[in-house]
Every structure is written in structure tokens, then in C-alpha cells.
Amino acid sequence: MSIVNSIRAQLVPINREGYPFIAVFAVISVILYILWVPLGWFGAVVTLWCAYFFRDPPRVTPTRDGLVVAPADGRVSQVTNAVPPPELGLGETPLPRVSIFMSVFDCHVNRSPVSGRIARMVYRPGKFLNADLDKASEDNERNAFLIESAGRRIAVVQIAGLIARRIVPFVREGRDVAAGERIGMIRFGSRVDVYLPEGAPPLVAVGQIATAGETLIADLAANRGSQTYRVD
């Protein structure tokens, strides 16, 4: 039993959303192998990639009031000021926005950037443009969260991409979430935007690689130098 547990400990967990896809690819691989062995090996590679795509590794999230962590794995594609989605009711004043682009090789499980309550969650159908484009934040299919945290409001927007065809939320409106908690995922290549409170300076730069639940993207505390944070 200890050997089995040891092996399990070395394997990266797979999110349950991926099991149907992995099963389908595995069955197809067997059929292709019967028809022609090289095709079967190709199918096996695709099946392994599918399992890799749906990986859901544990993360260690820094916790302290005011810290904002990345909601997604991937490359920081934009750090700018932009008007948040109108469905969240945050007004028309541009807010600091950090955009993280997830390629098909990044983990696509999204996490809450802060602890708080999901005050609003709104799904909007739309197009499937390249998620790296600026206009994707307005035109593409999206699912937006408004999280109230210690008197502050932070918005998280899941944006479908060129080949992404489904946004899957794991939480509901009105629920409390912890920083780093899983809130959803997007299939298969997409982007996540975080809108910070007005005047909050982002701590990341364009081109930086972010890790969901771990990379700090902002510190909303008034006096950062005199405070410390803990890792639970």
C-alpha cells in the first residue's frame, strides 16, 4: 500500500473535467493501433498531452490581507488600464488590468486571486478571437466574477480563446472563496483578466510567467514594508 501511495504522490493530479476527454482519446488510440500501429502511437501521444493539459497541481498560496495572486498559469500579455466589463457594475473608469494568456501547454485551472465573497458572476456569449488580442476582452465569450474582499472589489474575467469552446465555473455567486481556491477552467487556450482597485500598482510586467495561486500580481495594503505574510 505504501508503494502505491508513493507512486500517487509523484503524479500530478488530473482535474475531473479531463477524464471524459482522456477516455475518448485512449479509446481512439486503441482503435488506431489496431488499424495501423504508427497511428496508434500518435494517438497515445495525443492522449498523454490531454492528460497533461488537464493537470491540476497543488499550489502554495501566500496569505495576507491585501495580497492579490495570479488567477491563471501563463504569460502576462498586458498590464494596462481598461474599463471593466459593464455586466459587473464597476463603472466606466479605467482600472488597472493584468491579463494572463494561457497557451495549450499551460495548466488551465483558474484560481481566486483573493479571499472574499463572489458578489456577482455573469456569463456572456461571444466570439472566439485570438485571446491574446486586446479586443478579445470585449468581443469574446467570457465569464466574469466580482469578488468583494475586505471592502475592496476585484474582478476576474475568464475569456475563451481561438480554440477554447467552453468556460467551466467551479463556484457559484454568493459563495465565499479563499485566495488560491479553484474557481473554474477554460478549454483549450485562453486568457484571464484581473481588474484591480483604482490606483493599485501591478507587481508584474509584460512577458513574465505567472503561476496560478502563487505569483503575486498586486499588494493592496497601504503599508507593504511593515507587514509580513504567512504561507499556510
190 is catalytic: yes
- 118 CB-side CA count, 13 A: 26
Q: Which three cell numbers stand for residue 77?
A: 500579455
Q: Return the closest-CA partner of residue 211 out of 96, 80, 78, 57.
A: 57
Catalytic position from the list 99, 115, 137, 190? 190
Closest CA to 117 of 202, 68, 178: 178
| Alpha-carbon dihedral angle through residues 27, 30, 36, 37, given to the nearest 10 degrees | 130
**3-class SS of residue 14:** strand
Three-state DSSP class for residue 142? strand
Rounded Cα–Cα distance for residues 50 and 15 (Å): 11
Residues near 127 by beta carbon (within 8 Å), at least 6 away in sequence: 139, 140, 141
The residue whose grid cell reads 498560496 is 61
Q: For the beta carbon of residue 106, count every other beta carbon within 10 angstroms.
A: 21
| Alpha carbons 180 and 50: distance in angstroms, whole number | 24
Positions marked active-site: 190
